[in-house]
């Protein structure tokens, strides 16, 4: 998989990658594109080469982002566990290229190659750690801390310029837009970011990390430990 920006695919040994390669289709995803709907069959698994997807939980009319995925992984974790649908929704917050594979062909591939299956399940574990970290941050952290955490996560996947709207920040933080505006102003005053309409530019990552504290870092460390280690691919 030498010609992809997806870190998970790039890290696969050649024999594991070869199992997927014939069935991967390159697509260009736009902002707002839905990857799967609640309680509906998941048609495709997407390995992102760019952009940012959000997985969202909803109840009683309220929606909250519980996880995000970029070029480090894939959308469709339930499929890797043998489940064809979920109560969650996933869609693109920032468009970008991706490689997609039909769910049935993905199941066949991970059941054919043990190393591929192991790496896919390791990523599912990392994503579950991210969801747990989100729940912990929502329970104990200020809006400013949580915003700093999400900006760091977006920065990991998109770089310095983040084309994210106030609606997105309200969704990911589970707060009203005025609270988002106040939190952005605080981070701007601390010279962490520059906030413009539908664009946030990271000015000082180190300051953002200091503000986020231990709200940020656990899923990222787990990704490095499990996904970027040669031992991850041991049969």
Q: Measure the CA–CA gap between 2 and 11, rounded to whole angstroms.
A: 9
Task: State mean pLDDT over 158-165.
Answer: 93
- Read off the pLDDT of each residue in 14-25 and give the average, rounded to a whole number: 93
CA distance 65 to 134: 9
Q: To which residue do tokens 């894939």 refer? A: 74
Q: CA triplet 125, 68, 141: central angle to 5 degrees?
A: 90
Q: Is 225 helix (H, G, I), strand (E, B) or coil?
A: helix
pLDDT of residue 230: 57
Residue positions counted in the chain: 235
For residue 186, pLDDT beyond 90: yes
Structure tokens at 64: 């909250």
Site of tokens 């199941």: 107
**Mean local confidence (pLDDT), 40-68:** 92
pLDDT tens digits, 94-129: 999 999 999 999 999 999 999 999 999 999 999 999
Averaged confidence pLDDT in the chain? 92
Q: How far apart are CA 218 and CA 144, in angstroms?
A: 18
Tell me the domain boundaries of the chain: 7-137, 141-215
CATH code: domain 7-137 is: 2.60.120.10
**Common-topology check for domains 7-137 and 141-215:** no
Q: Are strands 44-48 and 74-75 parallel, antiparallel or unpaired?
A: antiparallel
What is the distance between the alpha carbons of residues 38 and 56, in angstroms, rounded to a whole number? 9
- How confident is the model at residue 1, as a pLDDT? 52
Q: Which of 8, 28, 235, 1 is nearest to 118 (CA)?
A: 235
| Structure-token match 């309200």, residue found | 170
Which alpha helices (DSSP H) does 55-176 contain, by range?
Answer: 77-80, 103-112, 114-140, 143-158, 166-173
- pLDDT band per the 50, 70, 90 thresholds, residue 235: very low
Task: Please report the pLDDT score of residue 88 as a whole number.
Answer: 95
Provide the CATH topology of domain 141-215.
Answer: Arc Repressor Mutant, subunit A (1.10.10)
Direct distance between the N- and C-terminal alpha carbons of the chain, in angstroms, rounded to an integer: 19
Structure tokens at 119: 């790496």
Q: Whole-angstrom Cα distance, residue 154 to residue 50?
A: 11
Q: What is the dihedral of CA 31, 36, 42, 44, to 10 degrees?
A: 0
């Amino acid at each position: 998989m030498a010609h992809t920006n997806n870190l998970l695919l790039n890290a696969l040994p050649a024999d594991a990658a070869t199992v997927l390669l014939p069935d991967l289709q390159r697509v260009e995803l736009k902002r707002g594109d839905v990857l799967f709907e609640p309680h509906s069959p998941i048609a495709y698994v997407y390995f992102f080469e760019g952009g940012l997807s959000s997985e969202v939980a909803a109840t009683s009319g309220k929606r909250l982002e519980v996880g995000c995925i970029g070029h480090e992984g894939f959308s469709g974790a339930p499929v890797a566990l043998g489940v064809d649908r979920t109560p969650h929704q996933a869609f693109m917050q920032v468009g970008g290229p991706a490689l997609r594979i039909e769910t049935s062909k993905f199941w066949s591939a991970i059941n054919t190659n043990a190393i591929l299956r192991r790496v896919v399940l390791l990523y599912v574990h990392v994503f579950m750690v991210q969801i747990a970290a989100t729940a912990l941050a929502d329970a104990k952290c200020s809006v400013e801390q949580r915003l700093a955490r999400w900006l760091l996560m977006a920065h990991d996947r998109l770089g310095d310029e983040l084309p994210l709207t106030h609606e997105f920040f309200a969704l990911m933080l589970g707060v009203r837009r005025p609270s988002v505006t106040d939190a952005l102003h605080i981070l701007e005053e601390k010279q962490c970011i520059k906030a413009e309409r539908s664009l946030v530019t990271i000015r000082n990552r180190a300051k953002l990390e200091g503000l986020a504290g231990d709200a940020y870092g656990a899923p990222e460390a787990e990704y490095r430990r499990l996904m970027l280690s040669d031992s991850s691919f041991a049969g």
